[in-house]
Amino acid sequence: RRAALFFRFLGAPVPSSSVDESSFAGLASYLGLPQTAGSLATSCFSNPDSVAVNLVKRWFAAEHFRKSISSAGLRSSMCLQQARRLIPLPKDYSELILQVANFKCPQAVDDGVHNSLSLHPSMCLLCGKVMCSQTYCCRVTVDGQKHGPNSYHSLCCGGGYGMFLWVRDCEVLILAGERGTFVSPPYLDSYGEPDVGLRRGNPLYLNEERYEALQRLWLDHGILGKIVNDSEQSRSLQLVTWGEM
C-alpha cells in the first residue's frame, strides 16, 4: 500500500475503478507486479542478477547500514531461505515400521515385566518426532484442557496445525486446533491403492505424487479447508474428540 502511494506520488495515473485497492492482488496489479506473494518472491529473488537481489546487496554494502548493525552487535549476510518441506520418508514402508518398532512410551515404566513399547506410534511429518497416539498415557493438560500427544505436539511444532503418520495403521492424521480428519497416506501397493490398517499385508512403497500433495496441502495452508470439507461430508467426523488424539 505504501509503495502504491509512493508510485502515485511519482506521477503514476490514478488506478481505475476496477482495481480493488484494498486487496493485495489489486495493489500488485496497479504496481505491475505478480498478484500472489509466492510468485512475487520467486520473480524477485530466483535470479541472482535481478534488480531486487542487487538492491538488497546495495543495502548491505551501504556504510550507514554496516555501522548500524555493527553497533548492535549483528552481522549482515544475505540468505534466501528455501520453502520448508515435509520430512523425507523411506521408499519402502517396511523400513518405516522398523524405525519405530522399538519406540518406547516416554511415560511407561520399563521394569522388565510390563511392555513399555508404544502400541500406536505416530510420526510428525513436519519434524520427524515419534510419539504415542490413540492412548491416554501421554496426555497433557494445557490451560485446563486435555490434549493427546498428537494434539499437544501440533501446538508446539506447527502452531496448532499438525500432520502425523500413524505408522502401524498407515494413515495420515491432520489437525487444526480441536478439529481434524484423515487423509490418504502417501504409501501405495503395486496396484496403486493404499492399505489403511495394513489389512491386506501387501508391500507398500512411497508415492512421490501423493507425498507432494500433502506437501502442498501444508504449505498452501489448506489443512483447515480440507478438514472443513471432510466434516461437511461426514457428520461422524464432527463427533470425534480430535484434541485427545
Q: Report the pLDDT value the prediction gives residue 190, as an integer from 0 to 100.
A: 92
Q: What is the pLDDT of residues 50-107, one digit of tens each?
A: 666 777 677 767 776 667 666 666 555 555 566 789 999 999 999 999 999 889 888 8
* pLDDT score of 119: 85
Q: Render the burial of 127-139: b for 16+ CB within 10 Å, e for the rest.
A: eeebbbbbbeebb
Q: DSSP letter string over 88-100? A: P--SBHHHHHHHH
Query: What pLDDT is recorded for position 44?
Result: 64
Q: Are 224 and 176 in contact (CB under 8 A)?
A: yes
Beta bridge partners of 173: 164, 182
Strands (E), the chain: 122-124, 130-131, 140-142, 145-147, 161-166, 171-176, 179-183, 187-188, 205-206
| pLDDT for residue 108 | 75
Dihedral of the alpha carbons of 204, 198, 177, 157, in degrees to the nearest 10: -50
Q: What is the pLDDT of residues 160-171, one digit of tens each?
A: 899 999 999 999
pLDDT score of 81:
60
First to last CA, the chain: 43
Closest CA to 78 of 65, 90, 87: 65
Q: Quote the percentage of the chain above a pLDDT of 70.
A: 78
19-39 mean pLDDT? 73
Q: Which three cell numbers stand for residue 196?
A: 489403511
C-alpha cell at position 62: 551501504
Query: Smallest Cα–Cα separation from 190: which of 200, 201, 204?
Result: 204
Greater pLDDT, 34 or 167: 167
Write down the pTM of the prediction.
Answer: 0.66
CA 76 and chain centroid, separation: 28
